């Protein structure tokens, strides 16, 4: 029986297993002079589609899609449904890579036609990853693996059709590898907290610190927090990371009486069901006094589930903790949102502060934020203060605190202690030196 004869009319409701795919692929590659493409087709968000259209309508839509593909293949392929809107399509007599991509585009167009015919208002997205036999892989397992990598990369790039190449593997696997390494780093104690001083603009004295996480191996940074914090969130490790940040920050603050500490909280953590308990437990363990902890939450992160975010921030403030809106000005939230956020402080993003002496529009923006904060009885922290000129300009505007390389980068707990001992005086005098 030729492979072309094995066209199956997909029974969309019952997904077949990868073993079936491997069986069909083995049969296909054993054909004399076989030259084929494996297309892994994913209809994105099938469970949402089911919720929206109902199970029956969604099943009928998927059936219409695969019927359209059977027609488009004109007897030159096999379609194997894997369930949840994923399909393996084996296309024969592929002449070259361009030919394979054309086959993928044909399937995408057939899907469009089927969806138009079904009159679905919002069309689900489709990703098609392609691998080639024999030029890219000689064994069925590898062929399938390459098509999966291409489909995952297509999803990432929001491309509809993507032929496997090495960039797909790098794109899909590198974050995972880094994610695994991060999980090990957490276990192995490679994370540490550094503390960047915040200086009161009227007294010129250090009054607090922001805790910033570092991932160091043999004293050298492995990745920056911009990279590894999202990884921790994706890998489900943000609870452990936040607990680590809170407990270490509290211990440090307990050792430096009078110093307040600000800890960054991701939106996912704010909404975590155990977050409030976690903060309470850590504060009770280290005896943190009123207002000794500021929780920094990004403005953009509040919008997703605004109602719950507001409720939680209110609770935290009632418990005596301060709330700071981080990266203020970058989140595009409207003033109608802003006025409802229960906060104590606005943190002006360093992108504005660092440019404010060169760019008058950045300076006006910073001044507007400071003025807005004053109108709402909020304090302001300017981050990224790198020179005395910027500091003086912010002081004239009435900004409350400054943080930046003018005073110090983030320091290890030991170096912070030494820094604080050397710098307990008015730092404006030193900055003027
Ligand atoms: P962020 O909260 O906006 O933190 C300020 C960033 O600006 C820090 O980068 C800090 O080192 C840097 N910075 C401070 N002063 C200056 C300056 O004068 N000039 C310049 N060029 N940069 C300055 P860092 O430590 O790389 O952190 C990046 C981001 O990673 C943070 O941005 C924060 O969003 C996140 N992050 C860091 N630690 C944690 C953590 O423990 N938990 C969570 N959830 N996020 C963290
Ligand atoms: Ca921050
Ligand atoms: Ca920032």
The three-state DSSP-derived secondary structure of 297-340 is EEHHHHHCCHHHHHHHHHHHHHCCCEEEEEEECCCCCCHHHHCC
Please give the share of the chain, as a percent, with pLDDT higher than 90.
64
Distance 166 CA to ligand 3 centre (A): 34
Fold assignment, 3-164: Alpha-Beta Plaits (3.30.70)
Write out the residues surrounding ion ligand 3, Cβ under 5 A. Answer: 327, 349
Please give the share of the chain, as a percent, with pLDDT higher than 70.
94
Q: Whose CA is nearest to atom 2 of ligand 1?
A: 264
Task: Specify the domain boundaries for CATH 3.20.20.450 within the chain.
Answer: 176-422
- Whether 226 lines ligand 1, by a CB cut-off of 6 Å, is yes
Per-residue pLDDT averaged across 47-65, rounded? Answer: 85
pLDDT at 430: 64
Point out the ligand 1 atom lying closest to the alpha carbon of residue 327: 3
* 8 Å CB contact between 296 and 249: no
Q: For residues 295 and 316, what is the distance between their CA atoms, to the nearest angstrom?
A: 9
pLDDT at 225: 96
pLDDT at 426: 72
Q: Secondary structure of the chain in the HEC alphabet?
A: CCHHHHCCCCCCCCCCCHHHHHHHHHHHHCCCCCCEEEEEEEECCHHHHHHHHCHHHHHHHHHHHHHHHHHHHCCCEEEEEEECCEEEEEECCCCCHHHHHHHHHHHHHHHHHHHHHHCCCCCCCEEEEEEEECCCCCCHHHHHHHHHHHHHHHHHHCCCEEECCHHHHHHHHHHHHHHHHHHHHHHHCCEEEEEEEEEECCCCCEEEEEEEEEEEECCEEEECHHHHHHHHHHCCCHHHHHHHHHHHHHHHHHHCCCCEEEEEECHHHHCCCCHHHHHHHHHHHHCCCCCCEEEEEEHHHHHCCHHHHHHHHHHHHHCCCEEEEEEECCCCCCHHHHCCCCCCEEEECHHHHCCCCCCHHHHHHHHHHHHHHHHCCCEEEEECCCCHHHHHHHHHHCCCEEECCCCCCCECHHHHHHHHHHCCCCHHHHHHC
Task: Specify the domain boundaries for CATH 3.30.70.270 within the chain.
Answer: 3-164
Q: Say how far residue 20 (Cα) sits from the centre of its chain.
A: 35
Point out the ligand 1 atom lying closest to the alpha carbon of residue 386: 18
Distance 66 CA to ligand 1 centre (A): 49
Comparison of pLDDT for 410 and 65, the residue scoring more: 410
pLDDT at 54: 85
Distance 403 CA to ligand 3 centre (A): 11
- Whether 214 lines ligand 1, by a CB cut-off of 6 Å, is no
Comparison of pLDDT for 258 and 212, the residue scoring more: 212
- Whether 383 lines ligand 1, by a CB cut-off of 6 Å, is yes
pLDDT at 10: 33
Q: 256-275: per-residue pLDDT in tens?
A: 877 899 999 999 999 999 99
Comparison of pLDDT for 212 and 218, the residue scoring more: 212
Point out the ligand 1 atom lying closest to the alpha carbon of residue 385: 18
pLDDT at 124: 79
pLDDT at 14: 44
Point out the ligand 1 atom lying closest to the alpha carbon of residue 238: 44
Q: Whose CA is nearest to atom 13 of ligand 1?
A: 384
- Whether 301 lines ligand 1, by a CB cut-off of 6 Å, is no
Name the CATH architecture for the domain at 176-422: Alpha-Beta Barrel (3.20)
And the tokens for 178?
A: 């880094």
Q: For residues 8 and 77, what is the distance between their CA atoms, to the nearest angstrom?
A: 9
């Amino acid at each position: 029986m030729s492979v072309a004869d094995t066209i199956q009319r997909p029974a969309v409701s019952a997904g077949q297993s990868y073993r079936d795919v491997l069986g069909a692929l083995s049969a296909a590659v054993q054909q004399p002079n076989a030259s084929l493409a494996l297309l892994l087709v994913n209809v994105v968000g099938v469970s949402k589609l089911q919720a929206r259209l109902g199970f029956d309508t969604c099943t009928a839509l998927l059936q219409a899609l695969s019927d359209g593909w059977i027609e488009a293949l004109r007897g030159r392929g096999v379609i194997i449904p894997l369930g949840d809107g994923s399909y393996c399509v084996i296309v024969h007599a592929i002449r070259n890579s361009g030919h394979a991509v054309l086959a993928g585009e044909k399937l995408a167009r057939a899907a469009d036609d089927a969806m138009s015919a079904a009159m679905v208002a919002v069309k689900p997205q489709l990703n098609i990853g392609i691998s080639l036999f024999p030029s890219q892989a000689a064994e069925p397992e590898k062929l399938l693996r390459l098509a999966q990598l291409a489909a995952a990369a297509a999803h990432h790039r929001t491309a509809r059709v993507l032929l496997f190449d090495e960039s797909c593997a790098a794109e899909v696997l590198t974050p995972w590898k880094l994610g695994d390494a991060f999980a090990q780093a957490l276990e192995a104690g490679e994370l540490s907290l550094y503390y960047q001083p915040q200086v009161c603009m009227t007294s010129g004295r250090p009054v607090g610190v922001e805790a910033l996480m570092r991932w160091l191996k043999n004293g050298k940074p492995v990745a920056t927090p911009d990279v590894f914090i999202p990884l921790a969130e994706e890998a489900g490790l943000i609870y452990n990371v936040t607990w680590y940040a809170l407990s270490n920050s509290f211990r440090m603050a307990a050792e430096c009486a009078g110093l307040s500490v600000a800890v960054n909280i991701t939106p996912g953590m704010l909404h975590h069901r155990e977050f409030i308990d976690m903060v309470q437990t850590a504060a009770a363990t280290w005896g943190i006094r009123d207002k000794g902890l500021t929780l920094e939450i990004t403005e953009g992160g509040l919008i997703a589930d605004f109602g719950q975010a507001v409720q939680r921030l209110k609770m935290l403030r009632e418990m005596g903790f301060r709330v700071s809106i981080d990266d203020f000005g970058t989140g595009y939230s409207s003033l109608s949102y802003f006025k409802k956020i229960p906060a104590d402080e606005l943190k002006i993003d360093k992108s504005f502060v660092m440019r404010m002496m060169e760019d008058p529009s950045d300076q006006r923006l910073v001044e507007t934020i400071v003025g807005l904060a004053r109108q709402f009885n909020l304090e302001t922290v300017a981050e990224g203060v790198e020179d005395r000129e910027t500091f003086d300009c912010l002081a004239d505007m009435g900004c409350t605190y400054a943080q930046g390389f003018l005073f110090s980068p983030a320091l290890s707990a030991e170096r912070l202690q030494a820094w604080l001992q050397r710098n307990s005086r008015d730092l404006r005098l030193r900055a003027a030196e």
